[in-house]
Amino acid sequence: MRNYKNVIAAYSIMIFLIILVGIFQSWSIALTILNYCLISAVMTIGANIQWGYAGLINFGIMGYTALGGLAVVLVSVEPVKKAWQVGGLNILACIWIIIAIIFVVKFILNRFDKSKLRNYSVAFVILGGIILLRVTAAPGIEAIESVDPAKTGFLGGMGLPVLFSWIFGALLAGGLAFVIGKIALGLRADYLAIATLLIAEIIVSIIKHEEWLARGVKNVIGLKRPAPYEIDLQTSEWFINLVTKFNSSKLNLINSISDKQEALNQMVIDASSVYVKLCFTGLFLTVVIILLIVTQKALYSPWGRKMRAIRDNEEAASAMGKNIVKEHLLIFILGSAIVGLAGAMMVTNDGLFTPGSYRPMRYTFVIWVMVIVGGTGNNFGAILGGFVVWFLWVEAAPIALFLINLFTSHLPETNAVRVHLIESAPYFRFLVIGIGLLLIMRYRPQGIIPEKIIKQ
Amino acid sequence: MDFLNAIIVLFNFTVIPALAYGSQLALGAIFVTLIYAVLRFANFATGDMMSFGTMFAVILTYYFQSLGFGLGVLPTALLTIPFAILMMILYMLMIDKFVFSYYRVKKSPPVQFAMVSVGVMFVTQALIRIIIGPSDRRFLDGEKFIIKATEFKEMTGLAEGITLKSTQAITIIVTLIVVSIMFWFLNRTKTGTSMRAYSDNEDLALLSGIDPKRVVLITWVIAGILATIGGVLYGLDKSYRPFVYFNNMLPIFAAAIVGGIGNPFGAFLGGYVIAFAEIFVTYAYKRFISYLLPEHLEPDSLLQLLSTDYKFAVSFSILVIVLLIRPSGIFKGKVI
């Protein structure tokens, strides 16, 4: 128990902070922050598996997150039948063409020896394939995008319950990681970072601009939810009764019946949003706990030891007969799949898919700061990092605003410096995160909760 | 005549913009490559450092304009560049002293350096947004065009015109001057040689009495000059917006790696390779072809390989291909 003292202390402080937000701002905001903390925690578990366990640097987190979000659209949205009728065949044909290209390239690579002729023929096949793809797809895409463009204009999804999309998102991200891993894992660490960053950018730009797929920058709104809707709750009797029961002492203080009814209505509206967020919290917490148990077991299993050995000394591990390339690929896929799951969770939580919002700052670098600040190689640390950094990211602006007001209170309201500072309060979050990262890197490079290796 | 028209269309819409954009990328790429060669890390704060230098130029331009200073037909920003460079170098040296030098003394692995530079990126971005805000700013003044399309048409009697913006001409000329001075410095002066020696083999350089502190200092000075000029030229040509500068880091990285990271000349050419590839792949060739082909053969489609939305994706794909086939870059940089 003694060993876990700092872990327990750190988490209690974190929960205390969130409760403070609940008291001072509102419970709804506190729960929003908590939900995002949990989602961030899932992302950091994924990044930590790659960086902490195996030492792989993956700056492509944004791409997997976006892919997870795409999965939600592809799984949960009702299919647009008309779009399938007008353009579905073209799209299906394109999928077959892509598969054919891959097989032909594979065949050429396997069958012939390395030579200039082989390179040229591979290039020719790929280039010809792309032209063929464009010719096949163009009329289909045009037809699909013109089907009721204000509302749909895309193929839609499978119309399944939204929770399936979490699994599908993980699979999709894992599949992509397989391809990228095959291509890029041989690179040296900083090149891998740049390559993954750029590949993620490509993925996001495809999602942004292929409108037949998920409406691109036009966004998909009103996605399904695994939790009840506020409006249903507000009209259901059991919920109103529940709220009345909880607040009976407050309500009893109000004398007039109309005031009482009004107060009750307000309480029901507030409570319904809190209730929905609590449902999400429950779901996310389940995911985090399951992942934590699994990753913790994996970390202290022979497999985890093998990964650490590879991380710390590749040559030695390779001399012991471990297949480094295979293990790296496996862990790259696993980590990315978890990030994809987090991406799907996030879009489910928001209820909308906005490809334009995927930016490397927010979805790659902030996640990396979380892992480094929390503690690389330690799952508790990574999750804590997710909590701390997300909390700072959200609360930095209000705190900065408070401090600015405090320090400039002797200046008049119209003072230019004061007005300028108040306007730029939201950007203090970058400052806080950046300075936090630099301080941690300098004075506590292992993170808040450092890696702990249990000797068996 | 048709043939001439076709050439001019191509020249006007691809070659000129690509040369200007390529010059801007080239300056950034040399900056990345220098830091990589001498200080040995991938600087993720590249885009924001360029933005930081440009910010001073923008603020000073506004100040000079309010005072009534100017260069007449040339943009005022050119006048502010020396001051902006000075501020930029001061900022870089400060960052180096408080952040990077600690890890250099400790001989940390490059990955750690890269993570630290991410921290610097956050701080720089915050400072920029707090000082000048995230909005879009134009700070170009003076004459906008050197040759206008209509004037060109009247002059030559052709159906197509060439437009040469003054910013494009300034960009290309300034880049050529800066880069030639830099190469002269690196190859011909004693300090430049010592820098290259330090980059090639640190231990041997130390053994032969090269002062590492001086090398690092000069590297940051050159980096500051390149970053500021590159940033200001880009801002003049398009507009100044912090977020865009952050995004520009990605094609700049691509240019540096394609050219062979650690090799300044490679980075210089890499900038143009990326710019030309981006523009040639996303240009719609319809008008060009329609001049060359007889009338009844005119194409219906735009004849565009990829839509302009995928501009960045093109450069990244080139980078990925280069990394796979020839990781040391086209012009042989550091062996990885």
Q: What is the pLDDT of residue B56?
A: 94
- Residue A3 pLDDT > 80, yes or no? no
Nearest chain B Cα distance for residue A294, angstroms? 28
Closest CA to A389 of A423, A435, A332: A435
pLDDT tens across B212-232, in order? Answer: 999 999 999 999 999 999 999
Domain that holds residue B59: 2-325
Q: What is the pLDDT of residue A454?
A: 66
pLDDT tens across B225-259, in order? Answer: 999 999 999 999 989 998 899 988 989 999 998 88
Q: Domain A2-79+156-443 has what CATH class? A: mainly alpha
Nearest chain A Cα distance for residue B150, angstroms? 35
Q: Is residue B163 part of a domain?
A: yes
Question: A62-66, A130-134, A392-396, A399-403: lowest mean pLDDT where?
Answer: A130-134
Tell me how many domains chain B contains: 1
- Give residue for tokens 């990605």: B250
Looking at the complex, does the CB of residue B10 fall below 8 Å from at least one CB of chain A? Answer: no
- Looking at residue B209, which CATH number applies to its domain? 1.10.3470
Shortest CB distance from A428 goes to which of B41, B126, B313?
Answer: B126
Q: In this complex, do B323 and A184 lie within 8 Å of one another by their Cβ atoms? A: yes
Q: In this complex, do A434 and B125 lie within 8 Å of one another by their Cβ atoms? A: yes
Q: In this complex, do A430 and B122 lie within 8 Å of one another by their Cβ atoms? A: yes
Q: Which residues contact B183 (CB under 8 A, 6 or more apart)?
A: B264, B265
pLDDT tens across A207-230, in order? Answer: 998 888 888 888 888 888 888 888
Burial of A257 (0-12, 13-18, 19+ CB in 10 A): exposed
Shortest CB distance from B319 goes to which of A198, A205, A435?
Answer: A198
CA dist., res. A186 & res. B172, Å (int): 37
Q: For residue B18, is it left (φ>0), alpha (ψ between -120 and 50) or beta?
A: alpha
Q: What is the pLDDT of residue B335?
A: 39
CA dist., res. B298 & res. B302, Å (int): 11
Q: In this complex, do A201 and B313 lie within 8 Å of one another by their Cβ atoms? A: yes
Q: Which of residues 218-247 of B touch A (CB under 8 A)?
A: 246
Q: In this complex, do B126 and A206 lie within 8 Å of one another by their Cβ atoms? A: no
Of the residues B104, B115, B127, the best mutation for testing chain A's interface (the one with the most A CB atoms within 10 Å of its CB) is: B115
In this structure, what token pair is assigned to residue B8?
């001019």
- Give residue for tokens 């930029």: B88
- According to DSSP, residue B134 is labeled S
CA dist., res. B73 & res. A442, Å (int): 49
Cα–Cα separations (whole angstroms), residue B69 to A365, B80, B158:
42, 11, 40
Q: Is residue B115 part of a domain?
A: yes
Nearest chain A Cα distance for residue B316, angstroms? 6
pLDDT tens across B67-122, in order? Answer: 888 777 888 889 999 999 999 999 999 999 999 999 999 988 888 898 999 999 99
Residues A75, A158: contact at Cβ < 8 Å?
yes
In this structure, what token pair is assigned to residue B328?
């040391």
Percentage of chain B beyond pLDDT 90 is 46
Q: In this complex, do B313 and A206 lie within 8 Å of one another by their Cβ atoms? A: yes
Question: A137-151, B23-37, B73-87, B113-127: lowest mean pLDDT where?
Answer: A137-151
In this structure, what token pair is assigned to residue A118?
């082989």
Q: Is residue B336 part of a domain?
A: no
CA dist., res. B94 & res. A138, Å (int): 54
- Kindly report the average pLDDT of chain B as a whole number: 88
CA dist., res. A230 & res. A190, Å (int): 47
Rounded to 5°, angle at Cα A204 from A199 and A209: 125
Q: In this complex, do B130 and A202 lie within 8 Å of one another by their Cβ atoms? A: no
Residues A378, A447: contact at Cβ < 8 Å?
yes
Q: In this complex, do A365 and B121 lie within 8 Å of one another by their Cβ atoms? A: yes
pLDDT tens across B128-149, in order? Answer: 999 998 889 888 888 888 888 8
Taking CA–CA distances from A206, the nearest residue in chain B reads B310
Give A146 or A296, the one with higher predicted confidence. A296
The ipTM value here is 0.89
Q: Which pTM value belongs to this model?
A: 0.90
Shortest CB distance from A190 goes to which of B114, B250, B327?
Answer: B114
- According to DSSP, residue A79 is labeled P
Residues A60, A196: contact at Cβ < 8 Å?
yes
Nearest chain B Cα distance for residue A389, angstroms? 13
Round to the nearest angstrom and report the end-to-end CA distance of chain B: 51
Looking at the complex, does the CB of residue A423 fall below 8 Å from at least one CB of chain B? Answer: yes
CA dist., res. A357 & res. B156, Å (int): 48
pLDDT tens across B294-335, in order? Answer: 777 766 667 777 777 788 888 888 887 887 777 777 776 553
CA dist., res. A451 & res. A298, Å (int): 14
Shortest CB distance from B310 goes to which of A57, A209, A369?
Answer: A209
Q: In this complex, do B122 and A423 lie within 8 Å of one another by their Cβ atoms? A: no
- Residue A1 pLDDT > 70, yes or no? no
> At what angle are helices A324-350 and A27-48 packed, to 10 degrees?
170
- Residue A156 pLDDT > 50, yes or no? yes
Cα–Cα separations (whole angstroms), residue A338 to A35, A122, A180, A304:
17, 34, 16, 17
The mean per-residue pLDDT over the stretch A98-126 comes to 87
pLDDT tens across B150-197, in order? Answer: 888 888 777 788 888 899 999 999 999 999 999 999 989 999 999 988
Ordered by start, the domain boundaries in chain A are 2-79+156-443, 80-155
Q: Which residues contact A451 (CB under 8 A, 6 or more apart)?
A: A52, A375, A376, A377, A378, A381
Shortest CB distance from A201 goes to which of B118, B124, B250?
Answer: B250
E strand or H helix at A70: helix A61-76
Q: Is residue B263 part of a domain?
A: yes
Q: Which residues contact A310 (CB under 8 A, 6 or more apart)?
A: A54, A55, A317, A322, A324, A327, A328
Q: Which of residues 329-368 of A touch B (CB under 8 A)?
A: 361, 365, 368
Q: In this complex, do B323 and A187 lie within 8 Å of one another by their Cβ atoms? A: yes
Q: In this complex, do B42 and A190 lie within 8 Å of one another by their Cβ atoms? A: yes
Give the A:B interface size as CB pairs under 8 Å.
121
Q: Is A301 helix (H, G, I), strand (E, B) or coil?
A: coil
pLDDT tens across B256-271, in order? Answer: 988 888 888 899 999 9
Residues B170, B74: contact at Cβ < 8 Å?
yes
Burial A195-213 (b: 16+ CB within 10 A, else e): bbbbbbbbbbbbbbbbbbb
Looking at the complex, does the CB of residue A189 fall below 8 Å from at least one CB of chain B? Answer: yes
Q: Is residue B180 part of a domain?
A: yes
Q: Is residue B307 part of a domain?
A: yes
Residue A85's pLDDT band (boundaries 50, 70, 90)?
Answer: confident
CA dist., res. B165 & res. B238, Å (int): 11
Q: What is the pLDDT of residue B46?
A: 93
Q: What HEC string does A3-48 produce?
A: HHHHHHHHHHHHHHHHHHHHHHCCHHHHHHHHHHHHHHHHHHHHHH
Which of chain A's residues have a Cβ under 8 Å away from the Cβ of B253?
194, 198
- Residue A455 pLDDT > 80, yes or no? no
Q: In this complex, do B125 and A430 lie within 8 Å of one another by their Cβ atoms? A: yes
Of the residues B32, B111, B120, B122, the best mutation for testing chain A's interface (the one with the most A CB atoms within 10 Å of its CB) is: B122
Rounded to 5°, angle at Cα A321 from A320 and A323: 125
Shortest CB distance from A194 goes to which of B42, B112, B310?
Answer: B42
Looking at the complex, does the CB of residue A250 fall below 8 Å from at least one CB of chain B? Answer: no
CA dist., res. A202 & res. A194, Å (int): 13
Taking CA–CA distances from A139, the nearest residue in chain B reads B301
Q: Is A284 helix (H, G, I), strand (E, B) or coil?
A: helix
Of the residues A198, A357, A419, A420, the best mutation for testing chain B's interface (the one with the most B CB atoms within 10 Å of its CB) is: A198
Looking at the complex, does the CB of residue A31 fall below 8 Å from at least one CB of chain B? Answer: no
The mean per-residue pLDDT over the stretch A331-352 comes to 94
Q: Which residues contact A286 (CB under 8 A, 6 or more apart)?
A: none
E strand or H helix at A438: helix A428-443
Q: Is residue B334 part of a domain?
A: no
